[in-house]
Amino acid sequence: MHYTVMKNESIMGLNLKESGIYVDCTLGYAGDSEEILKRVKKGFLFAFDQDIEAINWSNNKLKQVGSNYEIIKSNFLYMKEELLSRNIHGVDGILFDLGVSSPQLDEDYRGFSFHKDAKLDMRMDQSSNFSAIDVVNTYDEKKLADIIFRYGEEKYAKSIAKNIVRERAKKPIETTFELVDIIKKSMPYKDQIKSHPARRTFQAIRIEVNHELDILTESLEKALSMLNIGGRVVVITFHSLEDKITKDVFKKYTDISDIVKGMPNIPSDYLPNFKIINKKPITPTMEELNENNRSRSSKLRIIERIK
């Protein structure tokens, strides 16, 4: 089952208009897109995803709601180019839900999950020829440690990287459980009790395989450039680095220039074109956390074009 994180909050955050044009940059299994389409009867929805399984499944689901949508098989990094090629120069709302879809985690063969044994994979785009098996078996020890520490915030990153390199010298590391065993041997038992010991490392490798953080800043800036006045960008993050990137981009576009900051009457030309809707990120309710533990790290931020 796919659980859409903070669905109500994100739909409210978009401030949908019935005739507006909206973009779901992370279609997944259409949890958000379905709700948008229900409310945009006279408008249009563009949805992006790289996962052909998710696209096919979501297309069948959305057809039952309406026909005023198009699913584009592409990374959201190319959202602006794809929209411009369709003669769309402005939109009324853009949603980024940066989590991995539950079915991707739950399907054994996708190799995202540390709970199920499968070939190491973790590709969002199944047509890509670069997967987790390449990261684990070809990156040198320092690069592995850097990735696991930076993207996973794993304090035992050096130990894990060292043991990966040692084990792969005997034979290639090919499955999720082989990697889990190495991770478990790389940290004290007391640190394996609170949460699964492989959680942070698997997250780090997934981010590396799919270049998730590399493309986020550019994608957010492109999204802001596409907004009509009154349009909003809503971002749900699941990782502190994703949230920091989002926060920094939003701050960049809403800050008042130091030249005029503090003046009693700031000329309108110096005022920012955007405003932040929620100063503090929105987090899941206790009710949602009880229903779906995977939402516990999620944060939602909203920005609006005002001029």
Q: Give 31-89 pLDDT, tens digit per residue.
A: 999 999 999 999 999 999 988 888 999 999 999 999 999 999 999 999 999 999 999 99
Structural domain of residue 92, as residue ranges?
Answer: 7-98+213-305
Alpha carbon distances (Å) from 171 to 158, 246, 285: 20, 40, 46
Q: Residues 204-247: pLDDT tens digits?
A: 999 999 888 889 999 999 999 999 999 999 999 988 899 999 99
Sheet containing 44-49, strands listed edge to edge, beginning at the edge strand earlier in sequence: 69-73, 44-49, 21-24, 91-97, 227-237, 299-305, 274-276
Residues 72 and 122 in one domain: no
**Residue 73 in domain:** yes
**Residue 2 in domain:** no
Q: How confident is the model at residue 259 (pLDDT cuts 50, 70, 90)?
A: confident
pLDDT of residue 1: 47
Rounded Cα distance, 182 and 137, in Å: 13
Q: At what angle do helices 31-39 and 52-63 cross, to 10 degrees?
A: 30
Residues 64 and 195 in one domain: no
The pTM of this model reads 0.83
Residues 92 and 228 in one domain: yes
Beta partners for residue 236, in sequence order: 97, 300
Residues 206 and 116 in one domain: yes
Mean model confidence pLDDT for the chain: 90
Domain total of the chain: 2
**Residue 134 in domain:** yes
Residues 193 and 280 in one domain: no
Residues 39 and 168 in one domain: no
Average pLDDT on 270-289 reads 91
Q: How far is CA 47 from the centre of its chain?
A: 14
Find the CATH number of the domain harbouring 217. 3.40.50.150
Check pLDDT > 80 for residue 258: no
Rounded Cα distance, 113 and 106, in Å: 7
